[in-house]
Amino acid sequence: MNPRFDTSKNLAEIRALSRADKEKYISTDHEVPVGLTASGLKLDANYHIQVKSTSGNPMVCAQISSFDLIFGFEDIVVFLARELPRPSCSYDVVLGHEMQHVAVDQKLVQAYTSYFPSLLQQAVERIGVIRAGSAAEAERRIKRDIGIYIKDFGATLSTEREKRQRRIDTPAEYKRLGQSCNGALGKLIGGRSR
């Protein structure tokens, strides 16, 4: 989860990015950003389906015999407006703020990792043994159920992430940022809000 840093974009370009994709870019609607953190949620499932049949019985039974899910955030980029002078107090303050966003994502992954094995076990148990007329049908049903589980898990992570990120992007925090460095950031953005 080591971010890449991008200082090539100006304030207008960062503002445009912040409006482009709320899932990817951590941003608020109440302030004009001078920095922005972007990342993508990664969910990769690897599983094996075991299928058994008995001779003389057209029905098959299938279940998940192993299930691994890799999750986290990838392609993390911290954008800092090129108008921020480097080195400067303003640059350091905005960088510090954006690194709080990166830290929140890291803590979210750590929090879910601690109880993730039990979540997977519950999902496998909920799917259970599938009885179907063919191996292909049983596998299709298991894949469908896994797809639903991954979609729901991704939505849960996204909701929790948004809640945690909002704790950083508060009006009080933006007021503090605008007043820091003798008001240099406030002057840079012209004191404008969206």
Q: What is the pLDDT of residues 111-137, one digit of tens each?
A: 888 877 888 888 899 999 999 999 999
Rounded to the nearest integer, the mean pLDDT of the chain is: 86
> Does 192 reside within a domain?
no
pLDDT higher than threshold 60 for residue 153: yes
For residues 61-81, give the mean pLDDT.
90
Going by pLDDT thresholds of 50, 70 and 90, the confidence category of residue 17 is: confident
pLDDT at 24: 64
Structural domain span for residue 60: 4-187
In this structure, the dihedral spanned by the alpha carbons of residues 89, 175, 32 and 76, taken in order and rounded to 10 degrees, is 60
> Does 121 reside within a domain?
yes
Contacts of 57 (CB under 8 A, 6+ apart): none
Contacts of 100 (CB under 8 A, 6+ apart): 168
> Does 139 reside within a domain?
yes
Number of domains in the chain: 1
Reported pTM: 0.79
> Does 194 reside within a domain?
no
Going by pLDDT thresholds of 50, 70 and 90, the confidence category of residue 28 is: low
Residue 73's nearest CA partner among 142, 1, 5 is: 1
